[in-house]
Amino acid sequence: MATPRKVCVIGAGLTLFRRRMLETGKELSFEAVRMALDSAGIERKDVDTVVSGSAPDAFDGVHMKGEYLLDGSGAYRRPYSRVFVGGATGVYTPEAAWWHVASGMSEVCIAVAEEKMSPLQPHPAYAFWSIFDHDYERQLGTTLLWIFALEMRRYMAVHGIKEEEIAQVAVKNKKNAMDHPCAQLPANITVEDVMKSEPMVWPVKRLDVSPPSDGAAAVILASEAFAKKLTKEPVYVAGCGWNIDSTYWTDRDLYYPQYLENAGKMAYKMAGISNPRKEIDVAEVYDPFDYKELHHMEGLQLAKKGEAPKLTTRGITQRNGELPINPSGGLLGVGNPIAAAGMMKVCEIYFQLTGQAGKRQVKREVHTGLAQAWGDLMQYSSVFIMRRR
Amino acid sequence: MEKITSETKIGVVKDHIPLKYNYTAGVAGDRFLQLLKQGKLQASQCTQCHKLYLPPKIFCKDCFSQLNEWKDVAEDSAYVYSFTSVKKEEGPRELIALVKFDGVEGGLLGRLKSSREEPRMGMKVRPVFKQKSERTGELSDIEYFEKVNY
Ligand SMILES: [Zn+2]
């Protein structure tokens, strides 16, 4: 394989995440991209390509969302495309932008992710009706929550994990979100609060779950030569990985995300990482549900199988811990506008690497950070690693 | 950056997009559902890598060969792989299980018949079909799965 050229991240921006925003999807995209351009200190005229990422069209209620969002994404009369891998879209979008620049086809590429979930009535979750198999799943009235409950249950059963151990993740992330200016559901809660919250689909309770949201987030990628005109110490894209499991979720062993292990290995290989647990300084892993943070830490080899709850109990994943996980507050605290939520994680790692995370800045020194998202039907993972020299 | 303090004060334009669909069950799905109507549970088999697929497929996702062989799924091979308890807007709380079958790739999502005993992971179950006259050639021809003691 020819060696791709080095790519840097030069700016990041995001909007508020809220249950309903007045701004349309185009306007949200504009605000995120405008902030990212300002953060990089460049203008749209400096940008030569754009990639937009957004999850199912059914949320916004506008088909061909890529086309719909283009002006607000900064793509007017530029090479442009929309990418879509369900919930994993937010971290996959900067990977698609990376191809643009790494291949030499582009000098500066905007990667923007948008989701406006609030239009769908009576609840955004209704969009998920349309993702299940029409012959084998929809008849029963299958919802996404059922599937996650089956997966959570399987993960708990294989390792003997208690609901209380999983609830610690919601407590940590909602607390971390109190320092995030865009956060929708920051809160100071206890494990008991999570345990006592409204049961949804056993064992999933209200506070185990992230909220649907409106929002957008963006990063700007550029060639090393371009980035060095802006700063002496740019942040580099160190690794990209993506992988998918079978369409048939019933074929998989739900206790462990093998597809994520594969995506992680792909990214680690590119980044020259042989021991992720030691070499990753901070990680934003996808946490639409609290158990998913643990599941994903294990798939990423940041914890051994079944070990992530123990690391959480020992405080290792706290912001001042040895391996801070989701210092932003994650989806559980900041909110879950699907594609934008993944991109929010990429932004957070950029802020952590450049010392711009303010109160959220982790205690340990950070050189290498990882963002990960998960999607399609519980089967896709995208992994994006950034490094500051 | 915060301009809106109350989301309920945001003006909205209401709309409804009516869309209807007629899905086909597919080559494998159609045969599988017709067999189900006869009270038979069959999986398709890959003769290259000896995998049995349920629901059946016409291709092997791994070696990518075309599948033409079908085999009965042994009735005593079914077990509860994972389960949950759900409450829909209407009706009582229901037990939903992902049922897998020994030696078979895949599984079926279905209702679990409640009993005084709590369900367990790995519990042996069997499919119970609807009365012949009530079957429609849909997955719901399996009314539920029930615990068995072999
Ligand atoms: Zn095969």
ipTM of the complex: 0.86
Q: Which CATH number belongs to the domain containing residue A307 in this structure?
A: 3.40.47.10
Looking at the predicted structure, is the pLDDT value of residue B148 above 80? Answer: yes
User: Is A72 domain-assigned?
Assistant: yes
Question: How would you class B99 by CB atoms within 10 Å of its CB: exposed for 0-12, middle for 13-18, buried for 19 or more?
Answer: buried
Please tell me the number of Cα atoms within 13 Å of A13 on its side-chain side.
Answer: 23
Looking at the predicted structure, is the pLDDT value of residue A137 above 90? Answer: no
Is the pTM higher than 0.80? The answer reads yes
| Contact at CB, B138 and A135, closer than 8 angstroms | yes
Taking each helix axis as running N to C, give the angle between helix A89-102 and helix A338-353, from 0 to 180 degrees, rounded to the nearest 10: 60
Looking at residue B1, what is its pLDDT?
45
Say how many domains are in chain B: 1
Domain that holds residue B81: 24-147
User: Is A113 domain-assigned?
Assistant: yes
Report how far residue A346's alpha carbon sits from residue A295's, in angstroms, rounded to the nearest whole number: 19
User: Is B3 domain-assigned?
Assistant: no
Residue B95 DSSP SS3: strand
- DSSP output for A2-71: PPPPPEEEEEEEE---BSS-SS-HHHHHHHHHHHHHHHHT--GGG--EEEEE---HHHHT-SSHHHHHHH
CA distance, residue B150 to nearest chain A CA (Å) = 23
Strand partners, A116: A214
Chain B CB contacts of A134 below 8 Å: 21, 23
Chain A CB contacts of B143 below 8 Å: none
Q: Tell me how far the alpha carbon of residue B66 lies from the centroid of ligand 1, in angstroms.
A: 8
Contacts of A115 (CB under 8 A, 6+ apart): A25, A54, A55, A59, A60, A213, A214, A215, A216, A337, A338, A339, A340, A341
Looking at residue A222, what is its pLDDT?
98
At residue B128, φ and ψ (nearest 5 deg) are -115, 120
At residue A350, φ and ψ (nearest 5 deg) are -65, -45
Average pLDDT, stretch B98-115?
Answer: 94
Strand partners, A386: A237, A369
Looking at the predicted structure, is the pLDDT value of residue B2 above 60? Answer: no
User: Is A78 domain-assigned?
Assistant: yes
User: Quick one: tokens of A343?
Assistant: 């991109």
User: Is A328 domain-assigned?
Assistant: yes
Report how far residue A302's alpha carbon sits from residue A325's, in angstroms, rounded to the nearest whole number: 10
Report how far residue A300's alpha carbon sits from residue A185's, in angstroms, rounded to the nearest whole number: 26
B136 touches chain A (CB under 8 A): no
Looking at residue A140, what is its pLDDT?
85
CA distance, residue B8 to nearest chain A CA (Å) = 8
**Interval A245-298: pLDDT, tens:** 998 888 888 999 999 999 999 999 999 999 999 999 999 999 999 999 999 999
User: Is B19 domain-assigned?
Assistant: no
Say how many domains are in chain A: 1
> Which contacts (CB < 8 Å, 24+ apart) does range A104-108 have?
A104/A5, A105/A49, A105/A79, A106/A48, A106/A49, A106/A79, A107/A48, A107/A222, A107/A223, A107/A225, A107/A226, A108/A10, A108/A42, A108/A46, A108/A47, A108/A48, A108/A49, A108/A220, A108/A221, A108/A222, A108/A223, A108/A226
Looking at residue B145, what is its pLDDT?
97
Q: Tell me how far the alpha carbon of residue B102 lies from the centroid of ligand 1, in angstroms.
A: 18
Q: Which CATH number belongs to the domain containing residue B47 in this structure?
A: 2.40.50.140
Domain that holds residue A372: 7-121+211-388
**Interval A20-75: pLDDT, tens:** 999 999 999 999 999 999 999 999 999 999 999 999 899 999 999 999 999 999 99
Which member of A22, A140, A246 has the closest CB to residue B109?
A140
User: Is B52 domain-assigned?
Assistant: yes
CB A283 within 8 A of CB A325: yes
Nearest to residue B112, comparing CAs of B128, B89, B101, B91?
B128
B71 pLDDT tier (thresholds 50, 70, 90): very high
CB atoms within 10 A of CB B93: 10
Q: Tell me how far the alpha carbon of residue B48 lies from the centroid of ligand 1, in angstroms.
A: 5
Looking at residue A377, what is its pLDDT?
86
Residue pointed to by tokens 């992680």: A264
Looking at the predicted structure, is the pLDDT value of residue A110 above 80? Answer: yes
| Contact at CB, A20 and B3, closer than 8 angstroms | no
Q: Tell me how far the alpha carbon of residue B52 lies from the centroid of ligand 1, in angstroms.
A: 9
CA distance, residue B65 to nearest chain A CA (Å) = 16
Looking at the predicted structure, is the pLDDT value of residue A323 above 60? Answer: yes
Looking at residue A201, what is its pLDDT?
93
Looking at the predicted structure, is the pLDDT value of residue B3 above 60? Answer: no
- DSSP output for A235-257: EEEEEEEEEE--S-GGGS-TTS-
Report how far residue A353's alpha carbon sits from residue A281's, in angstroms, rounded to the nearest whole number: 10
Chain A CB contacts of B84 below 8 Å: 146, 149-150, 153, 201-203
| Contact at CB, A150 and B98, closer than 8 angstroms | yes
Report how far residue A184's alpha carbon sits from residue A331's, in angstroms, rounded to the nearest whole number: 9
